[in-house]
């Protein structure tokens, strides 16, 4: 029998050791990877898909049951002693569309027509073009409410016009009556996640869920006002275009700047859209003078035929 | 000296490599948590810490929600005493109201020191942030000068009673979402540590109540200090809503009067005739041929 | 056979011929196809139509307006006859009443087909808002159904009694006619009640019919929309109803006359008169069209001018001129001549009038909706136009078939020409007693 080559043994051992070390390191790394998803389930969460196709884990505590509100709050009367107004500064709007994205995402809008649309406007050929975001005007003389045959859409004391999606019969007369083309219709079953579809409908949180065969529109986010927060479009805008507040306090804010409403409108010549129709909108516009950014910047994001970004599947 | 054999070199490198790799996997997994803490002192009400937890994600700073933080007060010789725990909300913010703090320590630069500590979890390394503040005397009041109400405030060091001059104060009116700034953005205290700001007319408030605040914002020594003063010379806003009146856009129960009267008259009139006609049909049915054809 | 017996023989309802059976089967097939399409619409939602957020009303609504308009002439013909005793209308009046009744029922059904949530129909009654024009519509349509039933049924009673005797050898049928005639014996007491009631209803039906057309118009003119926000709309719709109703009446009378060989009772004279009525209706409607579509050219806001341009020269020009020339100009010209008022020519003219009237309602509904105040942006390009989908066509034809089926069945079982009254006018009987010839 030949004597075993000591070098061979050493080589074997060294290789074995190296391999073992690497394997151990890899094994540790592997267990880390594998254990991660398990650790994430430590809190009671729910998996939801957002409108842009990403899966998010949302803690169950964050899914608010908005049917509960403070005592004495009547969803058809609204917040007592307040009247909500919005001011949109057209001089600042550059069509970033963050407002539309936030509104679509937070209301789970999955149709082909957004509730908040930013129009490319040009009043006449020689006039300058500008971007004009439109929300529901929450008119003080709402033609939509006047024509509703079943009291499904209603005007509250706090100025907000809402829709009771459990009452709506889908006649679409309100859509014909609105001169601002604000309202959208659920022509088919909305493609919302199961968790959203099973929520009890609540006029204070429009679109949660959306119901087939009924009308939807911007709601001025009463669900955010309940928490003392501004509507989603106001906070999402990177340029501070949207101001929101209580007319009885004569104050509006975009989250960063706060002004007296009467002064703002006087100093910047605020006006309302289609004033001569006599609808008395609650949304004021500040004219597009001394533009912050040139109009052309917004063309990059302008999509003439799409206002709701679809998920990757569709 | 003989150079180490290839065996040793290889093994050494393997060990180093493995350790580095293991170390990296640990380090790669855990993000760096950034805590920022501000101290708020609301005179005659409460003191609290406003804590923001964030991390630097791919597209900028992201809030960290649902993590547990422990708050300590730092006493002499760096001894810590726990004041409690709190979790951050969806925006990564935690508002911790300070209760049961110990008396301030003499002979130190600041009166109170706090430490906010995060133990670390699977995703984030442990982190902490400290803040130290001293107590401030800030009083706010309302004086009528030349029949115009003025908000007046005085800033003093409570320990020495000395007035604090050239400090920036701001006067705000509490509103529903964000407060409205009264007057200029900043007023500097004069030699007597005072400011006086005229209140513009026409301010509206529920029941005439106006809740003013005099604010010292994020001072290095005192943190943020707020002093409230309420007034009742606000204008009571008139209810503009048409909710209680009979309008075309009112609910079914509040139909305009002319719409209640005229259409209903028409309907009842017409249906009276229709129902009468149906009754007559019945009469025809009932009448037997009493008379000959 | 006495003159009386001969009269009854000629006017009594007859069994369907082979053509009649095929006709009924054809209608039923159309209806079934429509029902299937509607069920699919319920399941999938109204996405199966081509209506979208801008063209939010489509053929269902224009069809609805068409039915409401058609139901007008029945009442007017019946009411005017009853109140003026103008005898040339006698052979036509029951057909008119039948058309009106069928049309208003189909109008009620058609509007439900357009609802997004028909399962919540009851809200229209228990939660109704009186301020809404739709509520007025619900009220007036229900009222009109009741009234047009009465004006059809009340004068029927003597004829039903006559048929009961005529079908003596068919006991089951005879019994039904007897029941429906409410024990009519022609006694003085019964006649008194009947006459009084018919007078009441005939007077009432005129304002109700006018209100019905006006409220139908107000569904559009109570909005701000260009092309709808017009003070002209109420009378415009009344005139339109007069035209389409007369057209329908002529076409239906012609077909029934041919099928039941009623040339002896509905003569060239009647068609001559009807033709003149159609010309009158067309002229009045032309007057309103001039007010609606020609006058605004003088001074008009830009949006109105654009709306008119699209109708005259733009997107809808083909349909607009087809409707105007075919439905207004052509009838007036053709019917000014005596030859034009011969039954056959008049029949084809009235068919064209009915078809163009249907498309006219499409022109009232769709172009306005596709020209909102704010530009159409942020929605798919297909949303800028509207043409009905297959589902909409199937359902529309099903409702038209439904109206035809109601008319067919009523004509099958009821005497289309009032028997007793005809006999009275021809002097064959008097005071309910047969004259000895």
CB burial of B55-88 (b: ≥16 within 10 Å; e: otherwise) equals: beeeeeeeebbbbebbbbbbbeeeeeeebeebeb
For testing contact with chain A, the best of C43, C58, C118, C224 (most A CBs within 10 A): C224
Nearest by Cα to C349 from C260, C251, C421: C251
The confidence score (pLDDT) of residue C75 equals 81
In this structure, are residues B67 and B51 in contact, taking their beta carbons and an 8 Å threshold? no
Chain A residues with CB-CB distance to B176 below 8 A: 82, 228, 245-246, 249, 251
The confidence score (pLDDT) of residue A67 equals 45
Interface confidence, given as ipTM, is: 0.92
Residue C437 pLDDT > 90, yes or no? no
CB burial of B201-211 (b: ≥16 within 10 Å; e: otherwise) equals: eebbbbeeebb
The confidence score (pLDDT) of residue A7 equals 60
Query: What are φ and ψ of residue B74, in 5° steps?
Result: -95, 120
End-to-end CA distance of chain C: 11
Residue C377 pLDDT > 60, yes or no? yes
The confidence score (pLDDT) of residue A1 equals 44
Residue C47 pLDDT > 90, yes or no? yes
The confidence score (pLDDT) of residue B56 equals 87
The confidence score (pLDDT) of residue A36 equals 39
pLDDT, tens digit, 9 for 90 and up, residues C170-198: 888 888 888 888 888 888 888 999 999 99
Percent of chain B with pLDDT over 70: 89
Please identify which residue in the block is written with the tokens 């409401």.
C68
The confidence score (pLDDT) of residue C416 equals 92
Chain B residues with CB-CB distance to C139 below 8 A: 263, 267
Residue A197 pLDDT > 50, yes or no? yes
Q: Which residues pair with A155 in a beta bridge?
A: A161
The confidence score (pLDDT) of residue B65 equals 86
A131: left (phi over 0), alpha (psi -120 to 50) or beta: beta
Nearest-angstrom CA–CA distance, B255 and B248:
7
The confidence score (pLDDT) of residue B22 equals 61
The confidence score (pLDDT) of residue C322 equals 96
Residue ranges with strand state E in A91-157: 117-121, 130-134, 153-155
Nearest-angstrom CA–CA distance, A241 and A90:
7
pLDDT, tens digit, 9 for 90 and up, residues B105-152: 666 788 888 899 998 888 888 888 989 888 899 999 999 998 899 999
Nearest by Cα to C61 from A215, A163, A176, A168: A176
How far apart are the CA of B231 and the nearest CA of chain A, in angstroms? 15
Lowest mean pLDDT among A39-53, A110-124, C216-230, C279-293: A39-53
The confidence score (pLDDT) of residue A121 equals 95
How far apart are the CA of C373 and the nearest CA of chain B, in angstroms? 22
B275 interfaces chain C, CB cutoff of 8 Å: no
Lowest mean pLDDT among B9-18, B172-181, C91-100: B9-18
Residue C362 pLDDT > 60, yes or no? yes
The confidence score (pLDDT) of residue B30 equals 79
pTM for this prediction:
0.86
Nearest by Cα to A116 from A219, A201, A228, A224: A219
B256 interfaces chain C, CB cutoff of 8 Å: yes
Q: Which residue of B has its CA nearest to A16?
A: B11
The confidence score (pLDDT) of residue C245 equals 94
Residue C49 pLDDT > 90, yes or no? yes
Out of C115, C222, C369, whose CB is closest to A171? C115
pLDDT band at B289 (very low <50, low <70, confident <90, very high): low
A34 interfaces chain B, CB cutoff of 8 Å: no
The confidence score (pLDDT) of residue C12 equals 87
- Compute the average pLDDT of residues C231-251: 95
Give the residue with greater pLDDT, A184 vs B26: A184
- Compute the average pLDDT of residues A75-89: 94
Residue C106 pLDDT > 80, yes or no? yes
The secondary element (H helix, E strand) that includes residue B51 is strand B46-57
For testing contact with chain C, the best of A117, A133, A170 (most C CBs within 10 A): A170
- Written as six digits, the tokens of B254 are 């509040």
Chains that touch C (3 or more CB pairs under 8 A): A, B
The confidence score (pLDDT) of residue C160 equals 92
Give the CATH number of domain A64-314: 3.30.70.20
Chain B residues with CB-CB distance to A11 below 8 A: 7
Question: Is omega for the bond preceding B60 within 30 degrees of 0, making it cis?
Answer: no
- Compute the average pLDDT of residues B269-292: 84
Residue C378 pLDDT > 90, yes or no? yes
pLDDT band at B293 (very low <50, low <70, confident <90, very high): very low
Residue B94 pLDDT > 60, yes or no? yes
Residue A40 pLDDT > 50, yes or no? no
Residue B13 pLDDT > 80, yes or no? no
The confidence score (pLDDT) of residue A273 equals 97
- Compute the average pLDDT of residues C282-301: 90
The confidence score (pLDDT) of residue C185 equals 86
Residue A38 pLDDT > 50, yes or no? no
pLDDT, tens digit, 9 for 90 and up, residues B187-243: 999 999 999 999 998 899 888 899 999 999 999 889 999 999 999 989 999 998 999
Topology of B33-134 in CATH?
Immunoglobulin-like (2.60.40)
The confidence score (pLDDT) of residue A17 equals 58
Please return the burial class of B286, using the count of CB atoms within 10 Å of its CB with bins 0-12, 13-18 and 19+.
Answer: exposed
For testing contact with chain B, the best of A57, A77, A249, A253 (most B CBs within 10 A): A249
pLDDT band at C431 (very low <50, low <70, confident <90, very high): low
In this structure, are residues C62 and C361 in contact, taking their beta carbons and an 8 Å threshold? yes
Give the residue with greater pLDDT, A52 vs A268: A268
Nearest-angstrom CA–CA distance, A138 and A220:
8
Nearest-angstrom CA–CA distance, B195 and B155:
9
Nearest by Cα to C160 from C182, C129, C138: C182
Where do the domains of chain C lie?
3-429
The confidence score (pLDDT) of residue A21 equals 55
Contacts of A1 (CB under 8 A, 6+ apart): none
pLDDT band at B59 (very low <50, low <70, confident <90, very high): confident
The confidence score (pLDDT) of residue C319 equals 95
Per DSSP, chain C holds a count of helices (H) and strands (E) of 17, 2
pLDDT band at B2 (very low <50, low <70, confident <90, very high): low
The confidence score (pLDDT) of residue B76 equals 77
Query: What are φ and ψ of residue A117, in 5° steps?
Result: -120, 140
- Compute the average pLDDT of residues A20-25: 52
Span B137-231 CATH architecture = Sandwich (2.60)
In this structure, are residues A88 and A286 in contact, taking their beta carbons and an 8 Å threshold? yes
The confidence score (pLDDT) of residue A10 equals 60
pLDDT band at B3 (very low <50, low <70, confident <90, very high): low
pLDDT band at B182 (very low <50, low <70, confident <90, very high): very high
pLDDT band at A20 (very low <50, low <70, confident <90, very high): low
Where do the domains of chain A lie?
1-63, 64-314
Residue C215 pLDDT > 50, yes or no? yes
Query: Is the Cβ pair B274, C146 closer than 8 Å?
Result: yes
pLDDT band at C295 (very low <50, low <70, confident <90, very high): confident
Nearest-angstrom CA–CA distance, C163 and C161:
5
Q: What integer best gives the mean pLDDT of chain A?
A: 84
Query: Is the Cβ pair A11, B7 closer than 8 Å?
Result: yes
Residue B1 pLDDT > 80, yes or no? no
The confidence score (pLDDT) of residue C13 equals 87
| CATH 3.20.20.140 describes domain C3-429 | no
pLDDT, tens digit, 9 for 90 and up, residues C111-148: 999 999 999 999 999 999 999 999 999 999 999 999 99
The confidence score (pLDDT) of residue A32 equals 45
- Written as six digits, the tokens of B244 are 């209680």
Give the residue with greater pLDDT, C181 vs C386: C386
Chain B residues with CB-CB distance to A140 below 8 A: 240, 242
């Amino acid at each position: 029998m030949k004597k075993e080559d000591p070098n061979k043994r050493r080589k074997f051992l060294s290789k074995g050791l190296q391999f073992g070390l690497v394997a151990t390191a890899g094994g540790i790394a592997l267990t880390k990877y594998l254990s991660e998803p398990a650790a994430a389930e430590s809190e009671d969460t729910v998996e939801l898909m957002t409108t842009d196709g990403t899966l998010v884990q949302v803690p169950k505590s964050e899914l608010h049951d908005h049917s509960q509100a403070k005592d004495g709050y009547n969803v058809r009367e609204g917040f007592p002693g307040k009247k909500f107004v919005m001011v949109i500064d057209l001089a600042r709007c550059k069509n970033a569309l963050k407002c539309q994205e936030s509104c679509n995402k937070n209301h789970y809008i999955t149709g082909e027509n957004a509730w908040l649309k930013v129009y490319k406007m040009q009043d006449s050929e020689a006039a300058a073009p500008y971007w004009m975001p439109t929300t529901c005007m929450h008119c003080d003389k709402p033609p939509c409410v006047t024509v509703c045959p079943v009291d499904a859409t209603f005007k509250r004391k706090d100025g907000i016009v809402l829709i009771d999606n459990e009452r709506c019969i889908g006649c679409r007369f309100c859509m014909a009556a609105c001169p601002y083309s604000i309202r959208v219709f659920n022509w088919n079953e909305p493609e919302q996640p199961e968790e959203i579809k099973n929520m009890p409908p609540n006029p204070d949180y429009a679109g949660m869920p959306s119901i087939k065969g009924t009308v939807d529109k911007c709601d001025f986010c009463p669900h955010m006002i309940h928490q003392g927060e501004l509507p989603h479009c106001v906070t999402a805008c990177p340029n501070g275009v949207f101001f929101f507040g209580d007319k009885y306090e004569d104050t509006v804010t975009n989250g960063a700047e706060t002004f007296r409403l009467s002064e703002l409108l006087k100093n910047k010549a605020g006006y309302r859209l289609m004033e001569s129709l006599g609808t008395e909108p609650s949304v004021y516009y500040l004219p597009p003078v001394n533009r912050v950014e040139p109009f052309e910047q917004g063309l990059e994001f302008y999509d003439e035929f799409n206002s709701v970004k679809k998920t990757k599947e569709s | 000296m003989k150079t180490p054999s290839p065996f040793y070199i290889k093994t050494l490198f393997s060990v180093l490599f493995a350790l580095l790799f293991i170390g990296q996997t640990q380090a790669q997994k855990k993000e760096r948590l950034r805590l920022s803490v501000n101290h708020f002192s609301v005179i005659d009400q409460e003191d609290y810490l406003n804590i923001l937890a964030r991390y630097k994600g791919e597209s900028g700073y992201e809030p960290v929600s649902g993590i547990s933080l422990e708050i300590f007060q730092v006493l002499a010789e760096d001894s810590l005493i726990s004041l409690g725990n709190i979790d951050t909300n969806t925006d990564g913010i935690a508002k911790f109201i300070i209760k049961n703090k110990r008396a301030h320590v003499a002979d130190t630069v600041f009166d109170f020191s706090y430490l906010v500590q995060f133990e670390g979890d699977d995703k984030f390394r442990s982190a902490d942030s400290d803040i130290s503040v001293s107590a401030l005397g800030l009083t706010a009041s309302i004086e009528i000068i030349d029949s115009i109400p003025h908000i007046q405030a005085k800033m003093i060091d409570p320990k020495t009673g000395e007035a604090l001059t050239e400090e920036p104060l701001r006067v705000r009116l509490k509103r529903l979402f964000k407060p409205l700034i009264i007057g200029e953005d900043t007023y500097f205290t004069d030699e007597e540590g005072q400011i006086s700001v005229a209140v513009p007319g026409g301010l509206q408030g529920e029941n005439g109540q106006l809740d003013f605040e005099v604010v010292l914002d994020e001072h290095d020594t005192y943190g943020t200090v707020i002093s409230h003063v309420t007034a009742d010379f606000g204008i009571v806003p008139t209810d503009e809503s048409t909710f209680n009146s009979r309008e075309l856009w009112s609910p079914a129960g509040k139909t305009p009067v002319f719409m209640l009267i005229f259409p209903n008259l028409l309907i009842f009139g017409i249906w009276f005739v229709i129902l009468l006609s149906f009754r007559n049909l019945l009469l025809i049915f009932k009448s037997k041929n009493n008379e000959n054809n | 056979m006495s003159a009386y017996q001969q009269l009854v023989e000629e006017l009594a309802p007859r069994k369907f011929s082979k053509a009649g059976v095929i006709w009924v089967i054809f209608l039923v097939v159309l209806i079934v196809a429509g029902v299937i399409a509607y069920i699919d619409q319920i399941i999938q939602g109204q996405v199966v139509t081509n209506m979208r957020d801008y063209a939010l009303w489509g053929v269902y609504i224009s069809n609805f307006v068409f039915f409401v308009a058609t139901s007008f002439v029945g009442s007017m013909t019946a009411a005017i006859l009853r109140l003026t005793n103008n005898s040339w209308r006698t052979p036509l009046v029951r057909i008119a009443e039948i058309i009106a009744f069928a049309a208003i029922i189909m109008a009620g059904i058609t509007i439900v087909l357009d609802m997004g949530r028909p399962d919540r129909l009851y809200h229209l009654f228990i939660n109704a808002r009186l301020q809404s024009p739709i509520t007025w519509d619900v009220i007036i349509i229900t009222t009109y159904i009741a009234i047009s039933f009465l004006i059809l049924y009340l004068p029927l009673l003597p004829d039903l009694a006559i048929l009961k005797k005529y079908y003596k050898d068919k006991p089951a049928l005879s019994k039904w006619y007897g029941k429906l005639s409410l024990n009519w014996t022609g006694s003085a007491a019964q006649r008194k009640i009947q006459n009084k009631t018919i007078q009441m209803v005939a007077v009432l039906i005129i304002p109700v019919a006018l209100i019905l057309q006006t409220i139908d118009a107000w569904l559009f003119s109570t909005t701000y929309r260009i092309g709808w926000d017009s003070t002209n709309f109420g009378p415009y719709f009344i005139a339109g109803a007069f035209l389409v109703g007369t057209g329908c009446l002529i076409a239906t009378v012609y077909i029934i006359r041919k099928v039941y060989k009623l040339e002896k009772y509905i003569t060239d004279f009647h068609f001559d008169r009807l033709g003149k009525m159609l010309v009158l209706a067309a002229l009045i409607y032309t007057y309103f069209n001039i007010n609606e579509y020609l006058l605004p050219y003088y001074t008009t806001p830009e949006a109105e001018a654009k709306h008119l341009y699209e109708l005259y020269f733009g997107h809808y020009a083909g349909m607009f001129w087809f409707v105007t020339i075919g439905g207004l100009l052509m009838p007036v010209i053709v019917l000014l001549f005596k030859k034009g008022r011969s039954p056959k020519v008049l029949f084809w003219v009235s068919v064209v009038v009915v078809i163009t009237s249907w498309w006219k309602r499409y022109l009232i509904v769709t172009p306005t909706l596709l020209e909102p105040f704010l530009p159409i942006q942020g929605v798919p390009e297909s949303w800028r136009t509207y043409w009905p989908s297959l589902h909409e066509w199937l359902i529309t034809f099903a409702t038209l078939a439904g109206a035809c089926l109601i008319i067919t069945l009523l004509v099958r079982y009821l005497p289309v020409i009032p028997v007793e009254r005809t006999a009275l006018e021809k002097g064959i009987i008097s005071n309910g007693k047969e004259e000895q010839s």
